Structure 1
Amino acid sequence: LGPRAGDLVWDIGCGSGAFTAEAARFGAAVIAVDRDADALGRTTAAVRRFGVQAQTVHGVAPHILEDLPEPDVVRVGGGGAAVVSAVADRRPERIVTHAATRDAAELVGRDLSEHGYVVECALLQSVEMDTRGWREEKRTVAFLLSGRLPDRSP
């Protein structure tokens, strides 16, 4: 995402607060959004641990986003395609999200493209191995999607 000083970052579905704290450490103003009060508590603890600040907002996206100031950068950690589409309507420079299935990734990617974003997608996977027999025990996949508005300078 490349948050930098002067950027306003939304961290939707902030979870542990790790991204919120890291973005704030880069000098960005960060608004962390989550429907889970415990996640917001973890986020508050994370930013305090690093000696930075972030605003937290308790509520369900996309509705809770309506009154927030316009973002430059957004990480969508939860809420799926509906939240990504609502974020894209706000036209931040960069959006990053993930999907658990190829169908969901295609839906999000198509929506971002329709909003004018240049989209990149990477398939990430991890495999838990039983080293006694070197056999696969469990495979987890995720599709990481990023959208960037094309440079609009002349």
Structure 2
Amino acid sequence: LARLGPRTGDLVWDIGCGSGAFAVEAARAGAAVLAVDQDPESCARTDAAARQFGVQLQIVRGEAPHILENLPEPDVVRVGGGGAAVVSAVADRRPQRIVAHAATRDAAELIGRDLTEHGYRVECALLQAVGLDTRSWTENERSVVFLLSGELPPRETAR
């Protein structure tokens, strides 16, 4: 959410909206939000979250990247699913900022390369969470993800 920085007046796409947490927070920040997911249960969870927090957003059910073709041009996009193909289709639309994740280094490199080729400045962070059993303070679960963010350089203003 911080990397995308949605604000009033932005059109946000949340692709692979899942629980709706990001979509709801973006709407709470004043952005117009299109929450996209192919899973009907994810769409229902997103709708329930929006009602719970009293925000309006539009849910679009369908599979990316095909469902994106007829959507209005976004300002910022979170890609929560679909991998490199979806990120590439989003980058073709030229939103100012894109955030995506990858489960492997190879996938992260592919997404990062594609964003760079589309003219984005790319940053990547490796995020890790470790679950601990507090009775013995031993590790019981580890989750690793690469978080990529791409931003287009500021547009030159005409003098």
Which among 77, 81, 85 is matched to residue 82 of structure 1? Answer: 85
Mapping for residues 5-154 of structure 1, pairs under 5 Å = 5-154=8-157
Residue 131 of structure 1: how far off its partner (Å): 4.0
Q: Which amino acid aligns with 2:30?
A: G
Q: Which amino acid aligns with 1:115?
A: H
Structural RMSD (CA): 1.1
Q: Which amino acid aligns with 2:150?
A: G
The percent identity for this pair of structures is: 76
Mark the runs of 5 or more structure 1 residues left unpaired by the alignment.
none
CA deviations on 1:116-143 (whole Å, 9 max, x unpaired) are 0000000000122344544333321000
Residue 50 of structure 1: how far off its partner (Å): 1.3
CA deviations on 1:26-50 (whole Å, 9 max, x unpaired) are 1110000000011111111111111
CA distance in 2, matches of 1:138, 1:146: 26
CA distance in 1, matches of 2:127, 2:136: 24
Label 1:133 to 1:48 Cα distance change in 2 as closer, same or farther (>3 A). Answer: closer
CA distance in 1, matches of 2:24, 2:139: 35
CA distance in 2, matches of 1:21, 1:127: 26
CA distance in 2, matches of 1:32, 1:41: 11
Normalising by the residue count of structure 2, what TM-score does the alignment of the two structures yield? Answer: 0.93
SS at match of 1:9: strand
CA distance in 2, matches of 1:19, 1:105: 21
CA distance in 2, matches of 1:128, 1:52: 33
CA deviations on 1:73-98 (whole Å, 9 max, x unpaired) are 00000000000000000000000010
Mark the runs of 5 or more structure 2 residues left unpaired by the alignment.
none
Q: Which amino acid aligns with 2:148?
A: L
SS at match of 1:42: helix
SS at match of 2:130: strand
